Amino acid sequence: MSELNWYVVHTYSGYENKVKTNLEKIIENRGLHDKIVDIRIPVETHVEVGAGKDGKDLVVEEKIFPSYVLVKMVMTDETWHVVRNISGVTGFVGPGSKPTALSDAEVAAMGIETPETKEVVSFKVGDTVEIKWQKSASMVQIQIKDNGCGIHPEDIHHIFKRFYRSRFSKDKQGLGLGLPLAKMIIEAHNGTIEVTSELQKGTTFTLNFLNPTKL
| Residue 132, pLDDT score | 93
| Residue 175, pLDDT score | 62
Residues 45 and 83 in one domain: yes
Residues 57 and 139 in one domain: no
Looking at the domain assignment, is residue 121 inside a domain?
no
Distance (Å, whole) CA 176 – CA 100: 10
Domain boundary among 84, 101, 118: 101
From 92, 68, 70, select the one nearest 13 (Cα to Cα). 68
Looking at the domain assignment, is residue 191 inside a domain?
yes
Q: What is the mean pLDDT of residues 85-93?
A: 94
Higher pLDDT, 16 or 62: 16
Distance (Å, whole) CA 195 – CA 204: 6
Q: What is the mean pLDDT of residues 51-65?
A: 78
For residue 166, the domain's CATH number is: 3.30.565.10
Domains held by the chain: number:
2
Distance (Å, whole) CA 86 – CA 71: 13
For residue 60, the domain's CATH number is: 3.30.70.940
Higher pLDDT, 26 or 215: 26
Looking at the domain assignment, is residue 124 inside a domain?
no
Contact (Cβ atoms closer than 8 angstroms) between residue 23 and residue 15: no
* pTM passes above 0.85: no
Identify the domain containing residue 167 by its residue range.
Answer: 129-214
Looking at the domain assignment, is residue 122 inside a domain?
no
Distance (Å, whole) CA 162 – CA 180: 6
Q: What is the mean pLDDT of residues 39-51?
A: 80
Given a cut of 50, whether residue 34 has pLDDT beyond it is yes
Distance (Å, whole) CA 33 – CA 26: 10
Looking at the domain assignment, is residue 117 inside a domain?
no
Residues 133 and 178 in one domain: yes
| Residue 215, pLDDT score | 47
Looking at the domain assignment, is residue 113 inside a domain?
no
Residues 72 and 147 in one domain: no
Higher pLDDT, 80 or 62: 80
Looking at the domain assignment, is residue 52 inside a domain?
yes
Given a cut of 70, whether residue 64 has pLDDT beyond it is yes
Given a cut of 70, whether residue 134 has pLDDT beyond it is yes
